[in-house]
Amino acid sequence: MAGRYEPIDSPDETTLFPYHDLTPPTVATVARARQRIRQHLPETPLVRSEALSEALDADVLLKREDTLPTGAFKVRGGVNLVASLDEEFHDAGLLAASTGNHGQSIAWAGREFDVPVTIGVPEEANAGKVGALEQLGAEVIQYGEDYDEAREHIEDLATQREARYVHSGNEPKLLAGVGTAGLEILDERPDVDRVFCPVGGGTAAAGYCTTLGAMTDADVVGVQAAGAPAVYRAWQDETLDALDSVDTIAEGVATRVPFALPTEILQAGLADFRLVSEDAITDAVARLFETDRIVMEGACATAVAAAIQAGDELRGETVVLPISGRNIDREKFDRLLAESEY
């Protein structure tokens, strides 16, 4: 088929291929994803934080996505996508660009279904992260000065190899898989008032909008770092314009370009969107270690920080905070604990 593996016009500034269908997930596609992933991934615990519940005079429930294999929620999406992958890609395999949890998710799912995976990372990528990807059986290509250069190289390879480029946001199967967390919460606690969700590309928050947000009275609140507000701006000003640069310690949410599909879902489904400072993120990492002995990434800490910032507003509510990931380097963790005022 001519052009099948050539990039096509995209509503945002990212690269899309003809197999990137931008139809939003529905409750039905999330329910199907749940059936698909259940043989491969455990459900995650929803655990009350005594310390945060007392501090906020609320019922604060932590959705422990850090207990999933790879230590982050993204693997839900990776497993759903690879479990339902078109046969034509089984041999050519999957390509993705990511120094973080997206790459690990696709590598883990590829190994689970015996589909070859190649992950592009910048030349200077942290050796620990490269090692973790290789341990999952992925081919790691170190290329370019930064994420964008690595990504462009991977997109070219996708054309050359006729392989499946897995976008980190414009993928209905990833969104539906990620949304399964919302259905799990609904089974246990249909009475949730609010979910604070970190937003990088917006897949996690889109999943909560599609499930808890659409099926219950819960308000889904998106949270970004004030130093990386691309999707906040997209949500508020209805634009898909990229930022020139971002600056935050929370690399898991340091997205420069809003993605069309999750952004559209957030524009329709988010009740509110908050920004948090670097100090608030640092304190949230230290605080959850101190009070709940949870090790979490800066990305995850944005949502915890937003709940703390909301303070009295949450009195009497049932609030869910996803513990979205635990993949923080020891060096960074030590530094954040040392710098924190908490």
Ligand X SMILES: *Cc1c(COP(=O)(O)O)cnc(C)c1O
Spatial strand order in the sheet of 117-121: 139-142, 117-121, 94-97, 164-165
- 323 beta partners: none
Q: DSSP state, 8? A: B
> Binding of ligand X at residue 253 (CB under 6 A)?
yes
Q: Which stretch binds ligand X (CB under 6 A): 237-245, 271-279, 293-301, 309-317?
A: 293-301
3-state secondary structure of 255: coil
Nearest-CB residue for ligand X: 325
Instruction: Tell me which residue has tokens 């701006």.
Output: 233
Q: Are the CB atoms for 184 and 53 separated by under 8 Å?
A: no
Take residue 313 and report the two structure tokens written for it: 């507003």
Choice from 200, 213, 227, 258 touching ligand X (CB under 6 A): 200
The residue (of 253 and 321) whose beta carbon lies closer to ligand X is: 253
- State the distance between the two ends of the chain, measured CA to CA, in whole angstroms: 59
Q: Cβ 57 to ligand X, closest distance in Å?
A: 26
Choice from 41, 94, 154, 204 touching ligand X (CB under 6 A): 204
Residue 324 annotated to the active site: yes
Instruction: State how far the Cα of 338 lies from the Cα of 229, in Å rounded to an integer.
Output: 26
Residues 135-164 that bind ligand X (CB under 6 A): none
Q: Cβ 332 to ligand X, closest distance in Å?
A: 13
3-state secondary structure of 135: helix
CA angle 209, 103, 220 (to 5 degrees): 15
Choice from 33, 60, 72, 192 touching ligand X (CB under 6 A): 72
3-state secondary structure of 197: strand
Q: Which stretch binds ligand X (CB under 6 A): 5-13, 17-25, 35-43, 192-200?
A: 192-200
Interaction mask 81-100, ligand X, x per CB under 6 A: -------------------x
CA atoms within 13 A on the CB side of 286: 16
Instruction: State how far the Cα of 101 lies from the Cα of 196, in Å rounded to an integer.
Output: 20
3-state secondary structure of 220: strand
> Binding of ligand X at residue 201 (CB under 6 A)?
yes
> Binding of ligand X at residue 297 (CB under 6 A)?
yes
Rounded to the nearest angstrom, the gap between the alpha carbon of residue 22 and the centroid of all alpha carbons in its chain is 18
Residue 63 annotated to the active site: no
Choice from 107, 223, 299, 304 touching ligand X (CB under 6 A): 299
Q: Residue 256 is inside which H or E element, if any?
A: none
Q: Cβ 231 to ligand X, closest distance in Å?
A: 7
Which of 74, 98, 168, 173 does the annotation list as catalytic? 74
Choice from 203, 211, 263, 318 touching ligand X (CB under 6 A): 203
> Binding of ligand X at residue 213 (CB under 6 A)?
no
Q: Which stretch binds ligand X (CB under 6 A): 46-54, 179-187, 194-202, 313-321?
A: 194-202
> Binding of ligand X at residue 101 (CB under 6 A)?
yes
Choice from 41, 154, 195, 300 touching ligand X (CB under 6 A): 300
Instruction: Name the nearest CA neighbour of 53 among 249, 257, 318, 275.
Output: 318
Q: Name the site residues for ligand X (rule: CB under 6 A).
A: 72, 74, 100-101, 198-205, 252-253, 297, 299-300, 324-325
Tell me which residues are annotated as active site: 74, 324
